[in-house]
Amino acid sequence: MSTSAHTTSTEHTAGATGTEKTAATAVRAAPGAVAHLDRGPLTMDELAAVIARDIPDGSYVNLGIGLPTTIADHLSADSGVVLHTENGMLNMGPAAVGDAIDPDLTNAGKVPVTELPGAAYFHHADSFAMMRGGHLDVCVLGAFQVSTAGDLANWHTGGPDDIPAVGGAMDLAIGAKDVYVMTKLFTRTGAPKLVPSCTYPLTGVRCVSRVYTDHATFEITPNGALVQESWGSTAADLAARLDGGIAPG
Amino acid sequence: MSRARVLDTCDEAVAGIEDGSVVLVGGFGFAGMPFDLLDALIRQGATDLTVVSNNAGNGEVGLAGLLKAGRVRKVVCSFPRQADSYVFDELYRSGRVDLEVVPQGNLAERMRAAGAGIGAFFCPTAVGTPLAEGKETRTIDGREHVLEYPIRGDYALISAHRADPMGNLVYRRTARNFGPVMATAAATTVVQVNEVVALGELDPEAVVTPSIYVDRIVPVQARHYTVQGAR
């Protein structure tokens, strides 16, 4: 699923020759990184399409509650992707409308959905055995923060008035073969969400393989986060804006 | 003697639930929520309950109704906070209900373990997170795992689609969710069903919960609710 250009070696990559911090906190360009400078950052809908494009045909996939759910709208019918919903179904179909709404058939976000031919229902312990047993190919989760080492924080801000609610996030984070994160790269106040080390309570440790954001996509490697593709900025620009990033010379 | 009994009313079905009981409540949001049994439990009056369920109630019906009636001391769940969980939110923030948040897979598997006679199990879920703090860990095949213990119920209140008079159950679509697991994990399993069919009418190949796990069955009127709110 990764392109062959996605290296995990420590060799210098194009344009990344600046003052180095520890490699684990690095943000830098991957070899062959593509920067789209003729436009601004992606909309969330465009980002959903990018992720859909990268999900290998035929994968068994869980899309997290919220933004990741919109990826389904961009999966082509002939992709053969089978959607898993944690509340007990494989080959989930699109959202239900009108007479197709059945209160007994919802997705993990409690939104009414439909079933596709070949669907299967199962109970919760089986549903989570699919995750925890390593049977799911890909899950896509939202994030409060992701570290350049692949730690994920997406369930609890730790704030005194915040009611913690984890759902299936921790099981997905450790269970799926590939964990993608879908998020804006910066908060409303401009703080990076891709960070050297998460300050929010963790969902999983070193579990994320890719981070998809409006500004860029990142592959998480033993040497940090490598920019694969960016929109509206170069990898160097982004590294400079991200905490702990290397400003390439 | 564990043969299931088919009862006429939900009030009979929830009789005997004592104060302080641990009650497993099926459902994922509204799908599979045993609304009628919960209404009967409110009338029955048992209090100081520990409720194990995926959520902590929606709106003011079902589990939220039980919470609103002040009968719940502690909620064990994976996802209490939702757009319409205001009854729980208020109780929690004012310190009137305790909360144990459990990752959803552990919630299911801990009940499965209880029903299957598993003393405890190791799992990588929650390693390195606040939900593993204070728990025993072990490295197995180079990966850190957390020790998790079973969750047993005194009672399970669940909803299924059809039962036969022996107590065999089939469910409908994603309303199955926690029902089959909870049925195995409680000393007494109480099931509301849309229909009780004659013995032999359920295809034995399609039975999801075999009768051995079921103690009380009560048929209820199909309830028409929207996804936003019951009734």
Summarize pLDDT for B122-148 with one digit per residue, the tens. Answer: 999 999 999 999 999 999 999 999 999
Render pLDDT for B151-199 as a digit per residue (tens, 0 to 9). Answer: 999 999 999 999 999 999 999 999 999 999 999 999 999 999 999 999 9
Query: Which residues between 59 and 98 in chain B have a beta carbon less than 8 angstroms from any beta carbon of chain A?
Result: 78-82, 89, 92-93
- Report yes or no on A101 lying in a domain: no
Name the residue among A128, A151, A156 with its Cβ closest to that of B109.
Answer: A128
Residues of A in contact with B62 (CB under 8 A): none
R_g of chain A computed on alpha carbons: 18
Task: From chain B, pick out residues whose CB is under 8 angstroms from the CB of A170.
Answer: 103, 105, 125-126, 129, 131
Q: Are strands A27-36 and B137-140 parallel, antiparallel or unpaired?
A: unpaired
Chain B nearest-CA residue for A202? B129
Statement: residue A175 has pLDDT above 60: yes
Domain total in chain A = 1
Task: In whole angstroms, give the CA distance from residue B61 to residue A103.
Answer: 15
User: Which of A158-162, A238-242, B88-92 ranks highest by mean pLDDT?
Assistant: B88-92
A46, part of any domain = yes
User: What does the block give as tokens for B225?
Assistant: 């609710």
**Cα–Cα distance between A94 and A116 in angstroms, integer?**
9
- The domain covering B5-118+151-213 belongs, at the CATH homologous superfamily level, to Glutaconate Coenzyme A-transferase (3.40.1080.10)
Q: Cβ of A168 and B78 within 8 Å?
A: yes
| Parent domain of A224 | 23-68+137-241
Q: Which residue from A minimizes the CA distance to B128?
A: A205
Q: Which residues of B touch A121 (CB under 8 A)?
A: 171, 173-174, 176
Is A77 in a helix, a strand, or coil?
Answer: helix
**Residue A199 in domain:** yes
Determine the Cα–Cα distance for residues A96 and B168; give it in Å rounded to an integer. Answer: 30
Tell me the pLDDT of chain B averaged across its residues: 95
Separation between Cα atoms, residue A232 and residue A38, nearest integer Å:
7
The residue ranges of every structural domain in chain B are 5-118+151-213
Q: Edge to edge, what strands does the sheet with A194-195 contain?
A: A152-153, A145-147, A194-195
Is A236 inside any structural domain? yes
ipTM of the complex: 0.95
Q: How far apart are CA A209 and CA A195, in angstroms?
A: 15
Q: Largest Cα–Cα distance in chain A?
A: 61
| A113 belongs to a structural domain | no
Interface list for A 138-197 with B (CB within 8 A): 151, 156, 161, 163-171, 174-175
Hey, is the C-beta of B173 within 8 angstroms of any chain A C-beta?
yes
Asked whether residue A213 is assigned to any structural domain, the reply reads: yes
Of the candidates A86, A115, A219, A229, the residue annotated as catalytic is A86
Helix (H) or strand (E) holding B74: strand B72-77
For residue A54, the domain's CATH number is: 3.40.1080.10
Are A93 and A120 spatial neighbours (Cβ–Cβ below 8 Å)?
Answer: no
Contact B136, B116 (CB under 8 A): no
